[in-house]
Amino acid sequence: MHELGIAELARGLDAGEYSSEELTREVLSRIERLDKTLNTFITVDAEGALAAARGADERRAAGQAGPLTGIPLAHKDIFCTNGLRTSCGSRMLDSFIAPYDAAVVERLGANGMVNVGKTNMDEFAMGSSNETSYYGPVRNPWDTGRVPGGSSGGSAAAVAARLVPAATGTDTGGSIRQPAALCGITGIKPTYGRVSRWGMIAFASSLDQGGVFARSAEDAAMVLGAMAGFDERDSTSVEQVVPDYSAALDQPLKGLKVGLPKEFFGEGLEDGVRAAVDAAIAVLKEQGAELREVSLPNLGLSVPTYYVIAPAECSSNLSRYDGVRFGYRCEDPRDLEDMYKRSRGEGFGAEVQRRILVGTYALSAGYYDAYYLKAQQCRRLISEDFRKAFEAVDVLVGPTAPETAFGLGERADDPVKMYLSDINTLAVNLAGLPGMSIPAGFADGLPVGLQLIGNYFDEGRLLAVAHQYQQHTDWHRRAPEEQS
């Protein structure tokens, strides 16, 4: 069963080939056996998962099942889950148990999906390698000496290792697409505002967006369709009708105008990645897509722009973790000031502290105009580049990451080099556009991702392009050897 995707599992459940409880027990067994090496989970909720699975079987017996009823999944540990620890990969929230479900958890649960646990992640979603987690690094299932990408590396690695058929993630600057590429799976970040952020612990509020990891575009379409939609509890949620993503998957590619941003194919792109991406683009062309070179001239500004805006917003959002109301509190503080300092100093890891300091500096008197305001102006230029590109093409295509997975610890002492890991993904978040990564081959035995970028609220087109590509390739069906 673990080799089957969501659509295939749903057909098996409908046919009575197995029950949701049997499927969930299989998933839990694989997690127990294989995750000691990979470290993809922070919390496994076997008791809650089995109870939910039995409930799903009862709904199916009563004729009340939907397409996702009884399908197991995991949630990134940034989504609040009622009665279950939500740590955000940090010592600061190691003991935090939310009294409610995030909107994403709530909606997928209402659709009958079975939550088996919470996946490992970079602390407060700050990282590109899943090495900043308080619970230790996640290992890439294709090579356990390498990173899975971040910050949603636990979710990506769990899906790639066939521990779960799907998992949720969040993408602030590439945190779904980059780990999807490095782990050889499908990952989609929808348009900003398409999926509710209510109950999703904030890192950078104008950039964060929830999304999906799955084996295929078909599977991702099913899950995204269930979790997307307006939520009045979230002030950034957009009141726009969610189309039937699954129904639109069979759109042919003939006549589709595909833009190839020349900036994605310049210096720094590994030869093996370039070859795999070129071959993937050739498949799109064979199916009738029309290729056009386009330019995003301000793409080079995305890294400095992001690393002013995101830390500034994180500085504000993380000020609430002060040791007073919830979260970690130091032992035996001398006074209030000592409690603040030590609680934050001991509760936050080095990368989180670095970003808080950078963000606080950028927002401080005398520097706001020079840094934060200037970054917002650059953000507008980046968005304008995309607007002009979409006047000429339907989708943009290029490498998700300029390289394959790098070694654990390889960039731990070089934060700037680590930040450059997301050079191809950051601009999409700054513009608020939808983007996804799909498996496009291998370079030196490691997965390569093809990035698809769409216009606002055009996730359906991205999923259709990905699905058509996956009908002519089998990269998304490749699985790593089991590491026990």
Q: Are 467 and 216 in contact (CB under 8 A)?
A: yes
- What one-letter code names the amino acid at 171? D
Integer angstrom CA distances of residue 38 from 73, 132, 156: 17, 15, 11
Q: In terms of Cα–Cα distance, which of 172, 154, 413 is closest to 311?
A: 172
Identified catalytic residue from 87, 129, 175, 315: 175
Rg (CA), the chain: 21
Cα distance between residue 473 and residue 447, in whole Å: 14
Residue 175 is a catalytic residue: yes
Identified catalytic residue from 129, 151, 216, 315: 151
Identified catalytic residue from 76, 189, 315, 437: 76
Q: Is 362 exposed, middle or buried (0-12, 13-18, 19+ CB in 10 A)?
A: buried
Residue 237 is a catalytic residue: no
Residue 417 is a catalytic residue: no
Question: CA-based angle 167:170:173, to the nearest 5?
Answer: 140
Q: Is 83 exposed, middle or buried (0-12, 13-18, 19+ CB in 10 A)?
A: exposed
Q: In terms of Cα–Cα distance, which of 157, 400, 140, 173 is closest to 270?
A: 400
Cα distance between residue 353 and residue 373, in whole Å: 22
The secondary structure of residue 369, as a DSSP letter, is: I
Residues 6+ away with beta carbon under 8 Å from 119? 40, 41, 42, 74, 75, 76, 77, 152, 154, 155, 158, 167
Catalytic residues: 76, 151, 175
